[in-house]
Structure 1
Amino acid sequence: MKCDSHIHIHDRAFLKQPRPQGFVDNDDVAAYRKVQTRIGTQRVVIVTPRVYGTDNAVTVDAIRQFGIGNARGIAVLNPDVTDDELAALDQGGIRGIRFTLYTAKNAAVGFDMVEPLARRVAELGWHVQLHWTAEQIVEHEAMLRRLPAPMVFDHRARLPSKDGVHHAAFDIVRSLADAGRAWIKLSGPYLDSAVGLEHRYADIAPMARAWVQAVPERLVWGSDWPHVTETHKPDDVFLIDLLSEWVDDEATRERILVTNPAMLYGFAI
């Protein structure tokens, strides 16, 4: 069963304020089911959107609607979360926590929280998901090597298109992946592309292929639906078709879409 390993659900029922900036109407479970039909995936990993801060109820509810057999979630937490709350999230299908720190504007947590929370979630078998810039990965290399929990690097580790695999972050993340400690998401090509959708994010392809060549057993794919950063949103069918351009052989695509996410998120194989 194929997995989309990175989406966000926006459900008005879970908002604490009328309409926060960044909220997207009608991008709920029902809307995403239609996307699943179009792109041919059956499993999904839901990441709590920034508009909900550290309230993960929308994600846990979405897992319930999809069914925990084929859905998992990534929460956003701070260190005052209780052990009972962690246990309830685990029961609800949460398997990791995200640190969106690439810009202070969108950060609900801080770098000082990464290690304390990583120690706590490691005991549950969870991972830490890192949406950091490539420069931040280099700056915090020592901390990354100390973390007791597995790591998942969002959006190809955010390697800038001008540097690509020559950026020092590539070697850092690759060494962690080679050691069995890290995974990389092939997602969000628009976030670092200079040429954009009009040119099929062509400047991202060499970096994506480099990850496939280097560590195919440590990659998962995500659509990043509903693409809240984009004014001109890409078609999700186009995005999954891009994977076929980045990955030459069917066996490796099967690994990225089926086997790897099953291992990372604990789905039945």
Structure 2
Amino acid sequence: MTDISTTTGTPAPLRVNPPPHPNPSRPAYRLPPGACDAHCHVFGPGARFAYSPKRTYEPTDAPAAVRALHALLGIERVVLVQASIHGHDNSAMLDAIAQSPDTYRGVAMVPASIADAELRALHEGGVRSLRFNFVRRLGGAPDLDAIRSLAHRVKTLGWHLVLHFDPQDLPVYRQFLDELPLPYVIDHMGRVLAESGPRQEPFDALLELMKDERCWVKVSGAERTSHLLSGPGLPFEDAVPCAPADPGGPDRVLWGTDWPHPSVREMPDDGKLVDLLPLFSDDPAVLHKLLVDNPTRLYWQD
């Protein structure tokens, strides 16, 4: 699998990712019991869990203090996703899972050379998936043959893949996705840009992919894809039409905060992100699937 590359010569200073919102609000929408944040991260602390020398931005430490945020929002279960700034060292994530092994699960990033015994150790540590970044600013496409090989290996563990794409690449990788031997989750609604509305090729490609029962999508990252940012109404609500929660595929959608929000133009208030949920669907049964039933099926099946 191709690692994120670095430039030669004197490197330019890394862009610093700001800290998360200092005073998130309590959401007006009350989450159901068992609600899951299926996409958030832990960053460091760097003094204990070193950041990758190949990282593309400078993180602000955001360790497992996310627990206080989840208590405020009413979130009871969590899926931690390994971020590129820690590379293949999953230690920070595994440490956070070990503090709450019944209610935390993980999505790891690993090298193609990882041994089967190491994969089993990750499973015992709460990992249920592997993540691969296809986003160009994060290094571009990894080795597809390596992904195929790892996919066959982790299928025996009951795992799936989590894939992070640029929107224009969703149609490009259709054949590759069709050939995968296991379920896969597309991060952040495929990063489909709200400015172009739902009638655009990347969103059409996303909906086509969701006709395959192996394809899942995270209804997350509205703060990434929004065009309006703050303004009238709820922040980032212009991203809602490009969310395939209802009727696109309510049995195979997940939701997450993406805390501590790397690479955003405007740091969101996570309470306001929760308040977007009733805009994704006005059907309580669909929202229950999104928040409770679907993550249970994917991450707490054993």
TM-score, normalised on structure 1? 0.90
Change (3 A) 1:180 1:18: closer
Alignment of 1:137-152 (within 5 A): 137-152=170-185
The answer as to whether partners of 2:195 and 2:226 remain within 8 angstroms in 1 is no
Alignment of 1:83-122 (within 5 A): 83-106=116-139, 109-122=142-155
Correspondence 1:193 to 2:229: no
Match of 2:263 in 1: 229
Change (3 A) 1:147 1:37: same
Distance 2:271 2:139 in 1: 28
- Candidates 52, 68, 74, aligned match of 1:34: 68
TM-score, normalised on structure 2? 0.81
The answer as to whether partners of 2:220 and 2:258 remain within 8 angstroms in 1 is yes
Match of 1:131 in 2: 164
Distance 1:108 1:82 in 2: 22
The residue type paired with residue 233 of structure 1 is: M
User: What's the CA shift for 1:60?
Assistant: 1.1
Distance 2:210 2:171 in 1: 15
Distance 1:238 1:16 in 2: 30
Q: How many residues align?
A: 264
The answer as to whether partners of 1:70 and 1:267 remain within 8 angstroms in 2 is no
The residue type paired with residue 204 of structure 1 is: A
Change (3 A) 1:161 1:144: same
Where structure 2 has 5 or more consecutive residues not aligned to the other structure, the ranges are 1-33
Match of 1:22 in 2: 58
What CA deviation, in whole Å up to 9, does each residue of 1:4-58 have, x standing for no partner? 0000001221115799633222x111x2111111110100000111111111111
Q: Percent identity?
A: 34
The residue type paired with residue 192 of structure 2 is: L
SS at match of 2:294: helix
User: What's the CA shift for 1:171?
Assistant: 4.1
Distance 2:231 2:85 in 1: 29
Correspondence 1:212 to 2:240: no
- Candidates 44, 51, 60, aligned match of 2:85: 51
The answer as to whether partners of 2:245 and 2:281 remain within 8 angstroms in 1 is no
Correspondence 1:165 to 2:198: yes
Tell me the C-alpha RMSD between the 2 structures: 2.2
The residue type paired with residue 14 of structure 1 is: F
Structure 1 or 2: larger helix share?
1
The residue type paired with residue 222 of structure 1 is: G
SS at match of 2:130: strand
The residue type paired with residue 78 of structure 1 is: P
Where structure 1 has 5 or more consecutive residues not aligned to the other structure, the ranges are none
The answer as to whether partners of 2:52 and 2:86 remain within 8 angstroms in 1 is no
Distance 2:207 2:259 in 1: 26
Match of 1:69 in 2: 102
Distance 1:123 1:134 in 2: 30
